[in-house]
């Protein structure tokens, strides 16, 4: 599910991939449902391709979102993304105790909480990791 959810640089929120054109993607906002084009100049990243640094390895965003969902019992995040840095770090340590405190910045934690809340509000709560098919195209490579 997370492979089709995209972050587009310069545009707030998250987007669902609707269609692909020759030099653009058509994406739909998870916040207001409006469809917009994402051109080749835009940096587009699939949430399925994002990972969080830990001391030993990188943990896929899907697993981190599952941990947030378990902590919050499927509800919206109990912490405000605009909280001070120390509160954000404490919250992250509760979710992923082994996260790398040098590489994961408070801005990354804010974005994680914002994205989690957007996904929950859009009723997209299946954060499971899908197996990648051979025929499946990589969204990011088509945009660059």
pLDDT per position as a tens digit, 7-41:
999 899 999 999 998 889 999 999 999 999 999 88
pLDDT per position as a tens digit, 53-83:
999 999 999 999 999 999 999 899 999 999 9
Query: At residue 131, does pLDDT exceed 70?
Result: no
Q: Is the pTM of this model over 0.75?
A: yes
Burial class (CB in 10 A: 0-12, 13-18, 19+), 10: exposed
- Decide: 57 and 48 in contact? Cβ < 8 Å: no
* 24-29 and 51-53 strand pairing: unpaired
Instruction: Give the confidence band of 130 by pLDDT, cuts at 50, 70, 90.
Output: low
Instruction: Give the confidence band of 43 by pLDDT, cuts at 50, 70, 90.
Output: very high
Instruction: Give the confidence band of 139 by pLDDT, cuts at 50, 70, 90.
Output: very low
Structure tokens at 19: 């269609």
Angle 128-130-134 from CA coordinates, rounded to 5°: 175
Contacts of 48 (CB under 8 A, 6+ apart): 2, 3, 5, 60, 61, 62, 129, 130
Q: How far apart are CA 39 and CA 69, in angstroms?
A: 32
- The rounded percent of the chain whose pLDDT value lies above 90 is 74
Please report the domains of the chain, with CATH numbers, ordered by start residue. 2-47+139-143 (2.30.30.730), 50-121 (1.10.10.1650)
Q: How far apart are CA 142 and CA 63, in angstroms?
A: 26
């Amino acid at each position: 599910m997370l492979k089709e959810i995209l972050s587009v640089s310069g545009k707030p929120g998250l987007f669902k991939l609707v269609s692909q054109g020759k030099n653009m993607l058509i994406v739909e906002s998870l916040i207001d449902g409006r469809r917009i084009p994402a051109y080749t100049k835009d940096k587009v990243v699939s949430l399925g391709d994002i990972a969080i640094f830990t001391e030993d390895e990188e943990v896929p965003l899907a697993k981190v979102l599952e941990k947030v969902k378990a902590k919050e019992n499927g509800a919206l995040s109990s912490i405000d993304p605009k909280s001070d840095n120390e509160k954000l770090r404490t919250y992250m340590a509760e979710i992923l105790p082994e996260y790398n405190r040098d590489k994961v910045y408070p801005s990354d934690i804010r974005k994680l909480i914002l994205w989690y809340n957007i996904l929950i509000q859009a009723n997209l709560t299946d954060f499971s990791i899908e197996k990648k098919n051979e025929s499946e195209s990589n969204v990011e490579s088509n945009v660059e």
